[in-house]
């Protein structure tokens, strides 16, 4: 797969459902440029099983992302109408009612392809018929994009493997710590712990204490 870290996040403009009930067109990352960090995560399908647990988990910690000046965006290859319908379904019925961050529609699969999280490939068989190697849905990809629009972290899980929202917050904290202090974040770093100067003396001093 492509490594997007260090590169400008691929552009897109698409339909989205915002605030749990409003469909908007032309939703893109441009609105966050120079203003907010973005946590962009892909999930396989609406009306499924692991997916609602992840979407609710991000909603439950949404205030924690917002106080770090970060927008959370969810994407799947479903339509905006499918997103809207799922958002109206109560949680106790398998729905995602109560999710307020934007859910983006990637029904033509171009966003998933641009971020290289599309599960499968299109092809043509010997009779000239269009084929697909799988269901062509998105893997569980997550991308942390800074205020300059550059991808600083990416993670891709296979379909059965749900993600850790705590880890997404930890990585966001690490990036902001580095930007503020100029120090790097060693293994298992978390907010409140000391960083490390990125030179031989800094490494030696840190290892001596740990």
Q: Catalytic positions, please?
A: 51
Cβ(88)–Cβ(46) below 8 Å = no
Q: Which residue has the tokens 């849905």?
A: 137
Which among 139, 143, 58 has a CA at the least distance from the CA of 101? 58
Q: Which residue has the tokens 């850790």?
A: 164
* N- to C-terminal Cα separation, the chain: 36
Cβ(112)–Cβ(118) below 8 Å = yes
Distances from the Cα of 58 to the Cα of 1, 7, 92, 110, 202, angstroms:
25, 25, 17, 24, 35
Query: To 5 degrees, how large is the angle CA 35–CA 80–CA 107?
Result: 95
Report the SS3 class of residue 32: helix
């Amino acid at each position: 797969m492509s490594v997007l870290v260090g590169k400008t996040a691929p552009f897109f403009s698409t339909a989205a459902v915002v605030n749990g009930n409003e469909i908007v067109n032309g939703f893109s990352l441009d609105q966050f440029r120079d203003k907010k960090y973005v946590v962009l995560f892909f999930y396989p399908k609406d009306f499924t099983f692991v997916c609602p647990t992840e979407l609710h988990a991000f909603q439950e910690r949404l205030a924690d992302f917002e106080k770090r000046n970060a927008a959370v965006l969810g994407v799947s290859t479903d339509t905006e109408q499918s997103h809207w319908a799922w958002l109206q379904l109560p949680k106790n019925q398998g729905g995602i009612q109560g999710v307020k961050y934007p859910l983006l529609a990637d029904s033509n699969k171009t966003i998933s392809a641009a971020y290289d999280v599309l599960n499968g490939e299109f092809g043509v068989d010997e009779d000239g018929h269009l084929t697909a190697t799988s269901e062509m849905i998105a893997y569980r990809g997550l991308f942390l994009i800074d205020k300059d629009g550059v991808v600083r972290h990416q993670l891709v899980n296979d379909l059965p493997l749900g993600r850790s929202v705590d880890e997404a917050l930890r990585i966001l904290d690490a990036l902001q710590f580095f930007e503020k202090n100029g120090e790097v974040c060693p293994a298992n770093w978390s907010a409140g712990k000391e960083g490390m100067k990125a030179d031989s003396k800094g490494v030696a001093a840190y290892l001596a204490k740990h």
